[in-house]
Amino acid sequence: MRSKIQELKKMFDRQLQEAKDSPALEQMRVEFLGKKGNITGLMKELGKVPNEQKKEYGQMINSFKQQLTDQLEVARKELQKQEELMAVNSAEAYDESMPTDHPVGSYHPITLVQRELEEIFKSMGFDVEDYNEIVDDFHCFEALNIPKFHPARDMQDTYYLDTPNQLLKSHTSAAQNAIMIKYGKALKEEGRPIKAVFPGRCFRNEAIDACHENTFFQMEGIMIDKDISISNLIYFMKTMLSEVFERDVTVRLRPGFFPFVEPGFELDIQCLICGGEGCPSCKNSGWLELCPCGMIHPNVLRYGGINTEEEPYKYTGFAFGLGLTRLAMMKYGVKDIRVFNEYDLNALSQFISK
Ligand code: PHE
């Protein structure tokens, strides 16, 4: 019996060394530990040994069985690790540590502007949120006080998917409703103001030229609390723009129409090139149109579950929609918007974060 166990152990070890994958291990388990396996065979033979040796051999078989079980378990875990690693490696199929003579990459100018703005807004207590590029009609339009067939939809013709009711978002305002719902509870229960910015890619059915693209980036921002007024809006916009352009900027508001704000504005900054005197960059007006904004329409707040009546609290808020692409053009002096989507690395790799 003893020699039989030793023989089986040798066989087991040899097979274990050769087992290259999980099915091979499973086959071994059946062969040695299964109902009709070698250990069961040994147990059967136990019947034939003299009574006084039964106990000793019985214990031997049991500890042999335990040993094989443990060894198989260790090998199974090891193989599993290797298989997972192989799956990852074959998915990536490259070796990060290999030296390369390719030039080091650089960030897209829009990414640079977006990150810079995110940092500025974070420092003013805003949360940064992400949102989908595919949205439904409700979020892109109806929750923003733009009912079906409203003429304001003409300004934002976009791309519709085959799936019913799905479209590519035409503006970052499409996330307003979701943000209000996400942060509304903390506003009502803890008095925590909603302050969030949400950058994103937007799409419109545009005829493309030097100033228009069908794909561009915006950064939306909203702030909602008790007693939020236009002064708060002006303060935050001025502070943010002074940081972006690294100097004091003068802003002005003109009336602007957007169904989701009331009153609505176009925010202009005094031309940074001529200081307001008038030059070709500002078409001699002394001002540059930069950012539509306004006080959030009560219907939009209500859709977002925010109370607009006096009882128990009346909330108000502002929203703005900064054109990130536009800002990147101004900041880096890019004259043609198409540069951003053309993926010409010579053009795109010259922008460096400050
Ligand atoms: N979503 C508007 C647009 O893309 C801009 C905007 C945002 C206007 C927020 C007012 C307030 O045209």
Ligand 1 residue neighbourhood (C-beta within 6 Å): 171, 173, 220, 258, 261, 264, 292-294, 319-321
Atom of ligand 1 nearest to the CA of 170: 4
Q: From atom 5 of ligand 1, which residue's Cα is the shortest distance away?
A: 321
Pairwise CA distance, residues 232 & 236, whole Å: 6
The pLDDT of residue 352: 64
Ligand 1: residue of 171, 295, 318 to mutate (most ligand atoms within 8 A of CB) is 171
CA of 113 to the centre of ligand 1 (A): 19
As given in the structure block, the two tokens for residue 284 are 């001699």
Q: Residue holding tokens 């994958």?
A: 21
The pLDDT of residue 209: 87
The pLDDT of residue 93: 65
Pairwise CA distance, residues 13 & 21, whole Å: 15
pLDDT in tens, the chain (354 residues): 788 888 999 999 999 999 888 889 999 999 999 989 999 988 888 888 888 888 888 899 999 999 999 999 999 998 888 888 888 777 666 677 877 777 777 889 999 999 999 999 999 999 999 999 999 999 999 999 999 999 999 999 999 999 999 999 999 999 999 999 999 999 999 999 999 999 999 999 999 888 889 999 999 999 999 999 999 999 999 999 999 888 888 999 999 999 999 999 999 999 888 889 998 878 899 998 889 999 999 999 999 999 999 888 899 999 999 999 988 888 888 888 888 988 888 888 887 654
As given in the structure block, the two tokens for residue 10 are 């040798």
As given in the structure block, the two tokens for residue 56 are 């000793």
Pairwise CA distance, residues 320 & 296, whole Å: 9
Among candidate residues 321, 340, 304, the one with its CA nearest the CA of residue 172 = 321
Q: b/e per residue, 250-265, with b = 16+ CB within 10 A?
A: bbebeebebbbbeebb
Q: From atom 6 of ligand 1, which residue's Cα is the shortest distance away?
A: 321
Pairwise CA distance, residues 211 & 195, whole Å: 31
Contact 260, 145 (CB under 8 A): yes
Region of 190 on the Ramachandran plot (φ > 0 left; ψ -120 to 50 alpha; else beta): alpha
Pairwise CA distance, residues 96 & 144, whole Å: 47
The pLDDT of residue 280: 83
- Give the amino acid at 200: G
Pairwise CA distance, residues 286 & 283, whole Å: 8
Q: From atom 3 of ligand 1, which residue's Cα is the shortest distance away?
A: 171
Cis peptide before 259 (omega within 30 of 0): no
What SS3 class is residue 340? helix
Contact 117, 325 (CB under 8 A): no
Residues whose CB is less than 8 angstroms from the CB of residue 113 and which lie 6 or more positions away in sequence, other chains included: 244, 324, 327, 328, 331
The pLDDT of residue 354: 47
Pairwise CA distance, residues 297 & 320, whole Å: 12
Q: Which long-range contacts (CB under 8 A, 24 or more apart) does 57-62 make?
A: 57/1, 60/1, 60/2, 60/5, 61/5
